[in-house]
Amino acid sequence: MELSKRAKQLSPSATLATAQKAQDLKKTGVDVISLSLGQPDFVTPINVQQAAILSIENGEASFYAPSNGIYPLRQAIIDRIETDYGKRYELDEVVVTDGAKFALYALFQAVLNSEDEVIIPVPYWVSYAEQVKLAQGVPVFVETKESNQFKATVQDLEAARTDKTKLVIINSPSNPTGMLYSKEELEAIGNWAVKHDIYIVADEIYGKLIYNGYEFTSMIELSDAIRKQTFIINGVSKSYAMTGWRIGYVLGDKEVVKAINTINSQSISNCAAVSQYAAVEALSGPQNSVEEMRQSFEERLNTIYPLVAALPGVTIEKPKSAFYLYPNIRETLNLCGYENVTDFVNDLLEEAHVAVVSGEGFGTHDHIRISYATDIDTLKKGVERIASFIEKKQ
């Protein structure tokens, strides 16, 4: 049967495709080291697991939940935001979604008309552009400077602005670069957006994973005007090691939140009730496991960064957040006789059995994304294999 035009033009997620390839190879008995995953390797904290089990045992998890999220979860989200950033939202300004990924999907469906433009700084997380296209919007890519740690400036954004620009996506901390916008940088972007009546989609899913003394600023902390112009996208996947539970949320303008609720009700009905009860405990219970996981990622970053930076031909500034390194390997490709980074990545998997993600999926041609969401021994072994692969190819 012929596929719809929408389905035909949709690219598969580059990160999931790489993970699948690595898994297929693993199944054939090959000892693959996967540095491609976008998820914490920790299991969900025990208090969160117990809350889920309780909701099964007492029957609460047996039934449909409200399409905008159970009341205690919306309340827990509001309280967490207030504790962390000192800003209070109302219950009708928050909607629970099937992960942050569906939060973005539903938001684009709720606000974009055909030909509305969405500014997306490059490199970008793999799903933004595809989701914008699915909503009939137009992704407008903005090149950023590697020397500015790939962070978009107001000048970069202004050069892309037209009278059709409706949204700009700001992902700080960034997947894939691990870079973090400063308060001043965000403020400048926020004021620019307010001035031109462009709404900001602030994807803050990695906001709790900040290392070596740097500080995260949420878009909503900057001013009331910027907050009004912002949709916060967040969820429990990365901070609470809960990628499998699928709980995210949108905070922002109530009319849009209501529309997302309607989209939920006509698509997924509601997020799994058991996951919602688990998320209540994650957000409102003890937060010490978040700090323990953060420290562990910090140690891994501090261990693996110098090893990656020392690989022949690699240039990379030290990331401050998330759990990715995004080294520029153009010189390495030259040394090894590759033109194309994806060919390098494919051979690295097939010949050295290390999975990393090609930068092509994130919109750049000279980079690979290495995830350090795995234990230190595996990380070291992975980098050693990359080093031997490069040596062999030179």
Q: Could you tell me which stretch among 97-105, 193-201, 293-301, 382-390 binds ligand PLP (CB under 6 A)?
A: 97-105
Stretch that binds ligand PLP, among 59-67, 235-243, 267-275, 365-373 (CB under 6 A): 235-243
Binding piece for ligand PLP, criterion CB under 6 A, among 46-54, 93-101, 185-193, 259-267 = 93-101
| Residue 219 CB coordination number (10 Å) | 26
Q: Residue 118 carries which side chain, given as an amino acid letter? A: V
Cα angle vertex 262, ends 261, 266, to 5°? Answer: 120
Residue 319 is a binding residue for ligand PLP (CB under 6 A): no
| 319: number of Cβ within 10 Å | 24
Q: Rule CB under 6 A: say whether 239 interacts with ligand PLP.
A: no
Using rule CB under 6 A, residue 237 touches ligand PLP? yes
Best CA proximity match to 118, nearest among 98, 103, 102, 134: 134
Query: Nearest to residue 260, comparing CAs of 75, 100, 81?
Result: 100
Could you tell me if 72 and 55 are in contact, meaning their C-beta atoms sit under 8 angstroms apart? Answer: no
Query: 117 and 264 in contact (C-beta within 8 Å)?
Result: no
Q: Is 325 in the site for ligand PLP (CB under 6 A)?
A: no
Binding residue for ligand PLP, selected from 21, 74, 101, 151, defined by CB under 6 A: 101
343-364 per-residue burial string, b: 16 or more CB within 10 A, e: under 16: ebbeebbeebbbbbbbbbbbbb
Measured CA to CA, the distance from residue 10 to residue 131 in angstroms comes to 9
167-226: contacts with ligand PLP (CB under 6 A):
171, 175, 203, 205
Scanning residues 283 to 312, which ones bind ligand PLP (CB under 6 A)? none
Pick the piece of the chain touching ligand PLP (CB under 6 A) from 18-26, 98-106, 306-314, 384-392: 98-106
Residue nearest to ligand PLP (CB): 99
Q: Hey, which residues between 104 and 163 contact ligand PLP (CB under 6 A)?
A: 125
As measured in angstroms, the least distance from the Cβ of 388 to ligand PLP is: 30
The residue ranges that bind ligand PLP (CB under 6 A) are 38, 99-101, 125, 171, 175, 203, 205, 235, 237, 243, 248
